[in-house]
Amino acid sequence: MILETISVLATEPAYVGAFVTWFAAPALAAATEPGQFVMLHCSDEGTDPMFARAFSYHRVAAGRFAILYNVVGRGTAWLASRERGDLVRAYGPLGQGYRLPDQAGNLLLVAGGVGAAPLVDLAERAVSAGHQVVALMGARSSAQLLAPSAWPKEVEYVVVTEDGSMGPRGFVTEHLGQYQEWASKIYACGPNAMFASLAEKLRFNGRRQRPEILMEENMPCGWGMCYGCAVFTKHGVRLCCKDGPRFNLFDVY
């Protein structure tokens, strides 16, 4: 684990209520795995909010990385207001990330809302490794969708909205369609309700795809000391920050 004071490079709107912030962070951008996360202290004094916040690596480049987040409280509002050159205390990379297959295959990435954050980094690495990638993203409306330009150009980007304002109407797990048959491996990130629905859709398809999910739990410490992020799996209690956030879908649901 690396502790680093990192510098804001830019903050840009991603969609309504969400932002992408880039940081100059040579140590924290090195040797990351897709699906890992970084802890950021989102306050000037380090006391309000008291605990650091966990953010997935959204994109990683030489000496810098980006996070994608919704503004939902004081911490994320503080972060979205940072300007170029502002400093943020951080530590990471943390957690067990996604694992790409050794052999090139067909990868289906299923995102629910801001759960798309780590899947963009995964998509970039997968394309570089020679995989075919479909990204299937669900959101409440078109206003909460990532732009197609956020994904590598080689990725087939498919969207679903609950109100039907873009793409088919409904939840993303209702529109797996032919993609679940095409995919040799499935990855997902989103709310727990999406995971439960995804498990019901995939459990009996006979494909043995062993879907990997990235779970979202409250992680005050990020490295297994506070036990605030317990996940109840079929193999016992696991900590999201230390044993995850990557889990096999059917080990949890």
Question: How big is the chain, counted in residues?
Answer: 253
Sign of CA dihedral 95, 18, 180, 201: positive
Which residues of the chain fall below pLDDT 70? 46-48
What pLDDT is stored for residue 1 in this prediction?
Answer: 87
**Do residues 159 and 112 lie in contact, with contact meaning Cβ atoms separated by under 8 Å?**
no
What pLDDT is stored for residue 47 in this prediction?
Answer: 64
What pLDDT is stored for residue 51 in this prediction?
Answer: 86
What pLDDT is stored for residue 209 in this prediction?
Answer: 79
Sign of CA dihedral 15, 159, 22, 51: positive
Q: What is the dihedral of CA 221, 15, 61, 56, to 10 degrees?
A: 20
What pLDDT is stored for residue 199 in this prediction?
Answer: 96
- The domains located in the chain, with CATH, are 2-94 (2.40.30.10), 106-214 (3.40.50.80), 216-247 (2.10.240.10)
**Do residues 90 and 102 lie in contact, with contact meaning Cβ atoms separated by under 8 Å?**
no
